[in-house]
Amino acid sequence: MATQEINKYSLLPSMHRRFGRVKRSMGLRATTPAQWRKWRKALREKLMELTGYDTMVRCPLKPKITDEVDCGEYRRQRVEIQTEPGIIMPLFVLIPKSARGRTAAVINPHGHGGGGKVAVAGIRDNPQVAKSIDDHNYDYGVQFARAGLISFCPDARGFGERQEEPARGDPLASSCTWLNNMGHPLGQTVTGMWAWELHRLIDYIQTRKDCDADRIGCAGLSGGGLQTLWTTALDDRIRGAVVSGYFYGYQQALLERFGNCSCNYVPHLYETIDMGDLAAMIAPRPLMVETGTQDPLNGADGVNNVLPQMRIAARAYRLFGAGKNLQHDVFEGNHRWHGTRSVPWLTKLLTT
């Protein structure tokens, strides 16, 4: 009886109906490259407004290397940069010992449940982090460093060393809810904060004498896939990207699964685009999407909730005759970084 009463009075069916009425007002409809360029320009401006990206304040980076550790095949630097006045982003930089001269770089943003940058950088000091690395193949920063790229592994706002007070005490916890609670009334979102900060990280990479400013990639899992998708859609300096465990239709994956982390939610987003439109903004630059067949975050229809979004993106790539630049690695498995195809694919793209 209680379940029937909850279902009877649930708002979700009404939200589904509203989604159907208002969805994708700025979705991809271009039929020529010129129309696509006009569409992308207008959509970038709109998304920067919706996410609060356009409220961020540029300032000097003031980079500082605070530590360096020999990790065998690579050196690990701890670096701090200023992304907005008084806001510091700590990050690890994994530098292959084989690197000579200006080397291609890859930004490896983390997702949830790994303690921030430490999992991506393969630091196993904490047993919870070590388990997360094993469960999710989470050390993809190390994987790229071993492949010869300089890997940049930042702490996103709200994670790792940047946890807000209510999250402290659990190294795997995030502060996304509190950040969005603070940010929304001030016209900001976690999505906008994260995209802004990775763009400032690109600014920093382009100042480093050991990095090639024209050969920068981005690759991340889950929340790191969110960061990769938005960062690449809004900044042409990313030459190629890998989005893992974060590509599906919003209605099933985020409206129905409304208990997902608040970092996914941007006011008026569903009225404006679906996820495939974000990928369409990246065209014709190379993009690989990794999808686990058993990943519950895909939504009720599983991979079938992913494929329509891939088709939206594919339409943009076909406009440029660049269909091969959009890759989809569907693998048997759960919510995890795959890497079998994506690491050599992105490494080749950035080094040849």
Does the pLDDT value for residue 6 go beyond 80?
Answer: no
- What CATH number belongs to 23-351? 3.40.50.1820
Report pLDDT digits (tens) over 175-207: 999 999 999 999 999 999 999 999 999 999 999
Question: Whole-model pTM?
Answer: 0.96
How far is residue 297 from each of residues 23, 250, 269, 288, measured CA to CA in Å?
A: 20, 11, 18, 18
How much is the CA Rg of the chain, to the nearest whole Å? 20
Residue 112 has pLDDT above 70, yes or no: yes
The end-to-end CA distance of the chain, in Å, is 63
Cα 251 from Cα 13, distance rounded (Å): 12
- How far apart (Å, rounded) are the C-alpha atoms in residues 25 and 39? 12
**Domain range list for the chain:** 23-351
State the Cα angle at 40 between 268 and 262, rounded to 5°: 30
Residue 143 near residue 96 (C-beta atoms within 8 A): no
pLDDT in tens, 263-281: 999 999 999 999 999 999 9
Task: Map tokens 């660049």 to a residue.
Answer: 322
Amino acid making up residue 293: T
